[in-house]
Amino acid sequence: MLTEQDFREAVTDYLYKGGGPAVSTYDIVMTDLNGDHSPEGLVMMNTPFKTWCKATGCTLLIFEEKQRKISLHSRIEPIRGPLFLHDTEGTWKSIVTRQYGLNRDPRYIELQNEGTGYPAFTLNALDYQGHDPHAGASYFYSD
């Protein structure tokens, strides 16, 4: 079974291979996004601020295990917590979050994954059309 340490090592490897500054800090949670009974690692990057975060949110990295190797599945930006995970008709859960700070009215957006990854940028994300954006499991509460 995968552990948080497995994902921390994957993040360290990603950073050292040019993904970002090695001194980066982040928060990590493990949850099954694709229904395979194995967790994916959701990594919300924190610092250095101008590298990973701006006024509109931070970068979210999603790592998954494939063939006994953990690798980056998606890089999403800008995004801010909390994130709500919703079951969808596809295999991957959708990510719902509130978007604000972009010179437009705040709104809930939904990021969907058809198996090839979540959208890299949230600025053109679809509005959430469900009944309750807070209904799913939630992670990464921010101030």
Determine phi and psi for 138, rounding to 5 degrees.
-125, 145
In this structure, are strands 107-111 and 94-99 parallel, antiparallel, or unpaired? Answer: antiparallel
Sorted by where each begins, the domain ranges of the chain are: 4-139
In this structure, are strands 69-79 and 57-66 parallel, antiparallel, or unpaired? Answer: antiparallel
Average pLDDT over residues 125-136: 90
pLDDT over threshold 60, residue 143: no
Per-residue confidence (pLDDT) for residue 131, from 0 to 100: 86
For every residue of 68-121, DSSP letters joined together read: TEEEEEEEEEEE-S-EEEE--SSSSPEEEEEE-SSSS--EEEEE--SSS---SB
Burial status of residue 61 (CB atoms within 10 A of its CB: 0-12, 13-18, 19 or more): buried
- Enumerate the β-bridge partners of residue 65: 70
Per-residue confidence (pLDDT) for residue 142, from 0 to 100: 61
pLDDT over threshold 80, residue 12: yes
pLDDT over threshold 70, residue 38: yes
The pTM for the full model equals 0.93
- pLDDT tens, residue by residue, 62-114: 999 988 899 999 999 999 899 999 998 778 999 999 998 777 789 999 999 98
Residue 55 is which amino acid?
A
